[in-house]
Every structure is written in structure tokens, then in C-alpha cells.
């Protein structure tokens, strides 16, 4: 599809503008609070472990922690802070460098949402709305402002999907060839190397890649000897590209454990989780010959440790509550302090923008029902021997509906089978997909007036500002313990 100069300018200008907005939202106040926030107490320890060489154990793969440790090393971060408890004050400003990469990746997510929405809808309105919704979504912002891993997972995962969708080998509308598939495989491996929940991205690629291959293969089999050499070569290139998705992500995943072991050769708190054979290998400096055994043992223990997390948490929540944002996560608070004669407090919650969150949930339900109705109507026409109207039909393309529906389901419903304690942030991948669904849904069909989009943007900004004080931990008056302007639901407290 060719774009005229004006449209290319619109894309470029908006991408630069929304990225600038996203950078501002993520980096303004990145130094606040100067205290350990939520799981910074865990990931901060792990980052320090890479620098001291003392072995630690974590239930997640190493890439996200390695990235933050690398940034800290470049910036001159010195281990020594113990990261014992939430609210413990950092001794100097070096902690800001540990927050830098998560915030940068959180900023990069927003233009990526724009590009992915454009690829799925070819609608400027939908792409712009989706990126604005995501930029001013408070929960995504909070989860990517601190020493946490989720912004890495989201960027690598959605970049893998975007590159796959832009491959001409699988999609006619794609812009790139084999290298896009290779890059998508690398990104899928990077996402999986941050957290195992990123397997959903690779699963989507494998699922849709398989069906596209099957759709291509059946006509070739029917043609038999009439298949041309060019058609055979094209099909074999697709097969080769598809096979790479089984090879590249595992190679990427395994490679970071090589780095992980090479940096953690000293005894540390993580030794208590490992068997005697593993510890003996550590004493020998983790020789390469032991790597397969060490790799399998560590990943097995990571899996078992995940299964053993049965402890409850005051701010945990069930998967079926996430689309309705019934239970946030309490990240940090500063006890009431006196400024002059006034009492104030500061708190940070992982709580989403209610306008964006609930709008996305409503439109996901609408999106699914409309798609089912269209599918049933198409089936009826086929069974009745009637032809579907070719012209004048508007709405979401069938592939876009199917892709986003499967993507949403595969990032939500597997949590049914996970018994460990879970939190609202486990929904963030599905939330980004729901945001894209919302933007495409409201921008499809008969062209709405611009005022409608301006109202949606106004609602997004209003929702963001309502939750703003507990997103950034700004000072609030303490005359009442829980201002109803922020905590609309009792379950949010």
C-alpha cells in the first residue's frame, strides 16, 4: 500500500509527538520516591547480585535483571544498599539509573502500540486513539517507572508480533521479508527471557503461522504437477521462516543463562534452592560442560518455586476481576508528615485509568459479540447458498477480529490454571490488546464526527488526572484518610 507524502508526515509527526509525551510521563519525577517501591526490594537485590557475583535465585528468567544491571554498571552503580523492605530510603541518587531502562521501554511501548494498531486497522484515528489510551493509562505507567521487568516484556513481545505481521512471507500487506521473521523470533525469545508469561507472544506467532502455512499448502497439493517452481520456492521460504520460530527463541533464551551463570560464581542466598551437584559446579566456576545440567536444574527449580507460591497477599486478585479493575496493588506509602500546619500523605498504587480500562472492557465484549454475529451470518449465507455482499461492507476486517480476539484470550484465560498468588499487573498484556481493540472498534463502521474522538481523548485525560496523585505519589491533604475523588470503589482501598 503506497502512502502519499501528507500521510507519511502525519505518521512521523504523531509518532514523534506521542513518544515525547510518553517520555515526559515516564521520566518526570523518576527520582520520586527516594525509597524502595514494591518489588524493587527483590529486583534491586538481584541487580546487586550480578555486580557482587553472589548467587541469587529468582522465579523469572534473567534478561530483565541483566539489562538493568548492565545499565547500572555503565552508570557506575555501586552495590551495597540492602533492599530489605519497601519504604527504605536510598542512600544516594544511583537508584535512578536502575529505573532508567524500565522507564525508557515503557516510553517505547506507546509508539509501538500506534504502529501495531496501524498495521491491524490501517486507520489513523484508531492508531492515534490506541497510543493516547496507552500513554495515559496509569497502571501501565506505574509498572514501567520503577525497577520492574514488565515494560521489557511488553515491548519485546509486541515488537515480535508487529514484525511477524509485517513479514511479506506470511502477509501480502507486509513491508519486509525473511529478516522480519528472524527479528520477530529474536524478539519473542527476548520477551520469553524476561518472564515466562511472554510465551503467549510466541504462541500467537506459531498458531497463526501454522494456519497461514496450511492455507497456502492445501491449494499447492490440489494443483499437484501444475505447481510452478516459483510457487514451490515461495512456500519453502515460508516453511523455513516458520521453522525459525522453533529455533531462534530457544537459542536466545538459553544464551542469557550462559551470561547469568558466568556472573554468579560466588556462593550466595540462592544456593539454598539448589542441589549439591549444582553447588559443586558453581565452585568450579560453572564449566561449560555442566551447562546443560545446570540449565535444566535451574529452570526446573524456577517452575517448582512458581508452584510453591501459595501465600496470600492483601492486594492479590483473581483473573476474572482484572477486566473490571476491582483490586489495585499498593506499591508505596509515606506516613503522614507535617508541612507547616497541614497534614499530608503520599501513596502509590498500581491502579489504571478508569475511563480507558472500563471502555476497553466494554469494547472487548462488543468486539467479540459482533465478530460472532458476523461469523454466524456468513455461515448462514454459505449454508443457504447465498453470496456475501462484496461491496459496501464496513467494519473490522475478519483477520484483525480473529487475531485480536485470540491474542486477548491467550493472554487472559491461561491464568485460570495458575494457582499461585496473582496481581492486577498480570493483566497488562491483555490490557494493551484490549486498548487496541477499543480504538479499532470506535474508529470502525460509519465515520463518526471528530467531536466524538475529542470526547474520548478528554475522557482519557480526565481519568488520568483523577488517578494522577497515586500514580506519582504526589502530596495530598490528609484531612480525610481516603479521598473519594481517587478511591471510587471500596475494593480499591
pLDDT at 1: 43
Q: Is 158 a domain residue? A: yes
Please report whether residue 126 resides in a domain.
no
Q: Counting beta carbons within 10 angstroms of the beta carbon of residue 207, is it exposed (0 to 12), middle (13 to 18) or buried (19 or more)?
A: middle
Q: Read off the pLDDT band of 213 (50, 70, 90).
A: very high
- Residue 423 within any structural domain of the chain: no
Stretch 56-62: mean pLDDT: 96
- Judged against a pLDDT cut of 90, whether residue 326 lies above it is answered with yes
Residue 256 CA to its chain's centroid (Å)? 20
CA atoms within 13 A on the CB side of 437: 31
The conformation of residue 387, written as its DSSP 8-state character, comes to: P
Any domain includes 15: no
Angle between helix 95-121 and helix 63-75 axes, rounded to 10 deg = 130
Contact 116, 161 (CB under 8 A): yes
Are the C-beta atoms of residues 126 and 172 closer than 8 Å to each other? no
Q: 69-87, pLDDT tens digit by residue?
A: 999 999 999 888 889 899 9
**pLDDT score of 392:** 39
Q: What percent of the chain has pLDDT over 90?
A: 71
pLDDT value at 320 more than 60: yes
Is 474 a domain residue?
Answer: no
Return the pLDDT at 391.
40
pLDDT recorded at residue 336: 67
d(CA 300, CA 260): 16
What per-residue confidence (pLDDT) applies to 458? 97
Angle, CA of 329, 334 and 339, to the nearest 5°:
140
The three cell numbers locating residue 485:
475523588
pLDDT recorded at residue 485? 65
Q: Quote the pTM value.
A: 0.93
Q: Render pLDDT for 127-167 as a digit per residue (tens, 0 to 9).
A: 999 999 999 999 999 999 999 999 999 999 999 999 999 99
For residues 30-59, give the mean pLDDT.
Answer: 94
Q: pLDDT at residue 395 above 80?
A: no
Alpha-carbon torsion 73, 75, 78, 82, what sign?
Answer: negative
Please give the C-alpha separations between residue 305 and each of 63, 273, 283, 363, 481, in angstroms, as whole numbers.
19, 9, 23, 37, 38
Answer yes or no: are the C-beta atoms of 130 and 114 closer than 8 Å. Answer: yes
Q: Give how many domains the chain has, as a whole number.
A: 1
Say if 1 falls within a structural domain. Answer: no
Where do we find the cell 541483566? 66
Note if the bond before 33 is cis, omega within 30 degrees: yes
Above 60 in pLDDT, residue 415? yes
In this predicted model, what pLDDT tens digit does every residue of 112-126 receive, in sequence order?
Answer: 999 999 999 999 999
User: What are the φ/ψ torsions at residue 393 (nearest 5 degrees)?
Assistant: -85, 135
Does residue 428 form part of some domain?
A: no
Separation of alpha carbons 138 and 148, rounded Å: 15
Q: Contact, 198 vs 191, CB < 8 A?
A: yes
Q: Contact at 8 Å (CB) between 53 and 264?
A: yes
Domain that holds residue 154: 149-273
Number of Cβ within 10 Å of residue 433's Cβ equals 27
Percent of the chain's residues with pLDDT above 70: 91
The pLDDT value given to residue 428? 98
Q: Given a cut of 80, is residue 227 above it in pLDDT?
A: no
Beta-strand pair 342-350/329-339: antiparallel
Residue-level pLDDT at 61: 97
pLDDT at 480: 52
Q: Give tens-digit pLDDT for 433-468.
A: 999 999 999 988 666 678 889 999 999 999 999 999
Among the listed ranges 38-47, 190-199, 274-283, 392-401, which one has the minimum average pLDDT value? Answer: 392-401
pLDDT band at residue 31 under the 50/70/90 scheme: very high
387 pLDDT band, cuts 50/70/90, is: low
In-domain check, residue 467: no
Contact present, 330 and 142 (Cβ < 8 Å) = no
Amino acid at each position: 500500500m503506497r502512502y502519499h507524502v501528507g500521510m507519511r508526515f502525519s505518521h512521523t509527526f504523531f509518532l514523534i509527538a506521542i513518544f515525547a509525551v510518553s517520555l515526559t510521563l515516564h521520566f518526570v519525577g523518576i527520582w520520586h520516591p527516594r525509597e524502595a517501591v514494591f518489588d524493587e526490594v527483590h529486583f534491586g537485590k538481584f541487580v546487586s547480585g550480578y555486580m557482587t557475583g553472589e548467587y541469587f535465585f529468582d522465579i523469572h528468567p534473567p534478561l530483565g535483571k541483566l539489562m538493568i544491571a548492565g545499565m547500572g554498571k555503565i552508570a557506575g552503580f555501586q552495590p551495597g544498599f540492602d533492599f530489605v523492605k519497601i519504604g527504605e530510603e536510598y542512600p544516594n541518587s544511583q537508584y535512578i539509573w536502575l529505573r532508567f531502562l524500565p522507564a525508557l521501554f515503557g516510553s517505547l511501548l506507546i509508539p509501538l502500540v500506534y504502529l501495531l494498531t496501524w498495521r491491524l486497522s490501517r486507520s489513523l484515528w484508531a492508531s492515534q486513539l490506541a497510543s493516547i489510551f496507552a500513554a495515559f493509562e496509569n497502571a501501565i505507567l506505574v509498572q514501567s517507572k520503577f525497577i520492574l521487568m514488565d515494560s521489557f516484556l511488553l515491548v519485546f513481545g509486541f515488537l515480535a508480533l508487529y514484525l511477524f505481521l509485517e513479514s511479506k512471507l506470511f502477509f501480502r500487506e507486509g513491508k519486509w521479508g525473511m529478516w522480519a521473521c528472524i527479528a520477530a523470533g529474536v524478539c519473542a525469545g527476548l520477551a520469553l527471557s524476561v518472564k515466562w508469561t511472554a510465551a503467549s507472544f510466541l504462541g500467537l506467532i506459531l498458531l497463526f503461522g501454522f494456519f497461514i502455512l496450511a492455507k497456502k499448502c492445501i491449494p499447492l497439493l490440489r494443483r499437484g504437477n501444475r505447481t510452478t517452481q516459483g510457487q514451490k520456492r515461495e512456500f519453502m521460504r515460508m516453511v523455513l521462516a516458520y521453522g525459525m520460530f522453533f529455533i531462534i527463541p530457544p537459542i536466545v533464551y538459553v544464551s542469557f543463562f550462559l551470561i547469568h551463570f558466568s556472573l554468579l560464581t560466588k556462593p550466595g542466598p540462592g544456593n539454598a534452592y539448589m542441589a549439591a551437584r549444582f553447588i559443586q559446579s558453581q565452585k568450579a566456576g560453572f564449566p561449560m560442560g555442566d551447562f546443560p545440567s545446570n540449565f535444566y536444574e535451574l529452570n526446573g527449580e524456577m517452575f517448582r518455586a512458581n508452584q510453591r507460591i501459595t501465600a496470600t497477599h492483601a492486594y492479590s486478585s483473581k483473573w476474572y476481576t482484572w477486566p473490571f479493575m476491582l483490586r489495585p496493588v499498593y506499591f508505596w506509602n509515606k506516613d503522614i508528615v507535617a508541612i507547616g500546619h497541614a497534614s499530608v500523605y503520599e501513596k502509590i498504587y498500581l491502579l489504571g485509568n478508569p475511563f480507558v480500562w472500563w471502555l476497553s472492557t466494554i469494547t472487548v465484549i462488543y468486539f467479540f459479540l459482533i465478530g460472532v454475529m458476523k461469523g454466524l451470518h456468513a455461515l448462514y449465507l454459505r449454508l443457504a447458498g447465498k453470496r456475501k455482499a462484496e461491496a459496501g461492507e464496513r467494519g473490522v476486517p475478519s483477520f484483525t477480529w480473529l487475531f485480536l480476539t485470540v491474542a486477548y484470550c491467550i493472554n487472559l484465560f491461561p491464568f485460570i490454571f495458575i494457582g499461585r498468588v496473582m496481581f492486577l499487573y498480570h493483566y497488562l498484556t491483555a490490557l494493551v490488546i484490549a486498548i487496541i481493540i477499543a480504538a479499532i472498534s470506535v474508529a470502525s463502521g460509519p465515520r463518526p464526527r471528530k467531536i466524538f474522538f475529542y470526547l474520548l481523548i478528554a475522557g482519557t485525560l480526565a481519568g488520568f488526572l483523577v488517578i494522577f496523585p497515586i500514580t506519582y505519589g504526589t502530596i495530598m491533604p490528609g484531612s480525610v484518610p481516603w479521598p473519594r475523588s481517587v478511591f471510587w470503589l471500596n475494593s480499591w482501598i
